[in-house]
A = this chain, B = another copy of it.
Amino acid sequence: MKVLIVEDDQFHSTFVQEALVEALPEVTEIVHAANGAIGEDEARRGEIDAIVMDLQMDQRNGIEAARSIWAERPQSRILFWSNYADDAYLRGIAHIVPEDSAYGYVLKTASRARLKLALRAVLVEGQIMVDREIHRLQRRGTSLRTRLDDSEFNVLIDLALGLQDKLIAERRGMSLRTVQNRLISLYEKLGVISEFDDEVTLNKRVRALNRALVTRTINIETLETAHRDLETWLAGR
């Protein structure tokens, strides 16, 4: 069994390697890649279907790499291994994971035992496994009704890019007023108003982006990839 480790941090990379050899005796070969682009190459060339993937990387992040890897070989099993429990990452993964594949998500703060468990469950057994810690963090402050639905999330992305209402309406196929309704519920769910708004009134759009970032609903990488998506959409319009 060949395993690919995609991780740009030297220390973390060797840590995963050690955990791998300890936990999975069936591993015969371990390949390293220092960023997403190299990782894609290695997976393609080596026909590797078991991957441990960091999410934050300079050149090309883990989600993008995973998407193209899964596009070519949907049966690949990928264990994501990340510093943060950002909602944006989970959402990104949920959108690209194929039906018949296995994946997992483990925080880097998890114990070595937990990592080993996830390695076996995902890479060998083909299970789906998400670190409990992530759900705990993710639900923090989100009292059931505060979680964004997909439509709201899309509008949030467009807002974050700086699109104005009319453009969002066109891009998402809604009427102008509907977009504005979405914005209103966004403002509520993100807590744009409830802060110290009795004293001062704020710019809601900016505040929404601010809150979305601080609550880890989106992150800077989200902005970067969303920007690229926007460019392609603008090109073919």
Contacts and interface: CB of A to CB of B under 8 A. Distances in A.
Interface of A: 9, 11-12, 15, 108, 159-164, 167, 192, 196, 199-207, 209-210, 213-214, 219-220, 223-224, 227, 231, 234
Contact of A220 (B200, B207, B213): B213
Contact of A203 (B15, B205, B219): B205
A55 B89 CA distance: 22
A234 B196 contact: yes
B202 A205 contact: no
B11 A162 contact: no
A198 to B, nearest CB: 11
Given A159-B206, A199-B234, 20 more contacts: A9-B108, A159-B203, A160-B206, A160-B210, A161-B202, A161-B207, A163-B200, A164-B202, A167-B200, A196-B231, A196-B234, A200-B234, A203-B205, A213-B213, A214-B220, A214-B223, A214-B224, A214-B227, A219-B220, A220-B220
Nearest to A56: B83
Binding site secondary structure of chain A? helix
Contact of A205 (B15, B196, B206, B219): B206
Nearest to A196: B234
A167 B219 CA distance: 27
Contacts of A160: 206, 210
A220 B210 CA distance: 8
A145 B209 CA distance: 27
6 contacts: A9-B108, A11-B11, A162-B204, A199-B234, A205-B205, A205-B206
Nearest to A216: B220
A225 to B, nearest CB: 11
A162 B203 contact: yes
B196 A162 contact: no
A125 to B, nearest CB: 27
Contact of A11 (B12, B167, B234): B12
A162 B207 contact: yes
Given A209-B210, A213-B223, A202 B163 contact: yes
Contacts of A9: 11, 108
A162 B206 contact: yes
